[in-house]
Chain A
Amino acid sequence: GAVVSQHPSWVICKSGTSVKIECRSLDFQATTMFWYRQFPKQSLMLMATSNEGSKATYEQGVEKDKFLINHASLTLSTLTVTSAHPEDSSFYICSARTPGLAGGFYEQFFGPGTRLTVL
């Protein structure tokens, strides 16, 4: 399957600082990437859809001014958590969408995730 990387894998920061998380598709081009977050003992929730060269689409309840998404190339999307607070502590996972290996079906491939802890 296709490979998606995320960096960093974990980050600890002080309240009020900004944190940038990178999501890269290593062996394919992805016009669309997705960002999810997972709070402890909860399932994954879609935060936003990132489209290359255009503005991201945010899910209801997700603050677009707090979670800045940039998808400047076909292999890189970044999520910046601005003025992070302890309630933003979570596991953030990205996925990249590509046509499937056969039949032209779309499929999402997931990165390994980034654990953010805000003190």
Chain B
Amino acid sequence: KQEVTQIPAALSVPEGENLVLNCSFTDSAIYNLQWFRQDPGKGLTSLLLIQSSQREQTSGRLNASLDKSSGRSTLYIAASQPGDSATYLCAVTSGGGADGLTFGKGTHLIIQP
């Protein structure tokens, strides 16, 4: 059964720093990997989706990489801002895209002004 682990569980950094969030998964036979943001009491905001054949995706200050063979992904946030404070979730799906997502427990990020 697929398991997704996110490290660190929580992170607090001053504004302006670059930071890296880590995600690992136990079964490398994934269809895609997705990073989400969740604000307290809110739903999910999709940040980046990486297909299994891709190595990375970029959107603005965010860059996500995928190393499927080692079961790892990283989310890089450049020049962090207080508005980036949220919980970041990593999720994978398998079964050719037919399966639901398996989520990690998330990294709770606080950017200090």
Contacts and interface: CB of A to CB of B under 8 A. Distances in A.
Interface stretch (A38-46, A69-77, A79-87): A38-46
B43 A113 contact: yes
Given A43-B106, A105-B32, A108-B93, A34 B46 contact: no
Nearest to A10: B41
Contacts of A45: 103
A93 B36 CA distance: 14
Contacts of B101: 34, 36, 44, 46, 95, 108
Contacts of B41: 115
Q: Which range contains the number of B residues in contact with the other chain?
A: 20 to 34
A74 to B, nearest CB: 16
B93 to A, nearest CB: 7
B97 A106 contact: yes
A46 B31 CA distance: 17
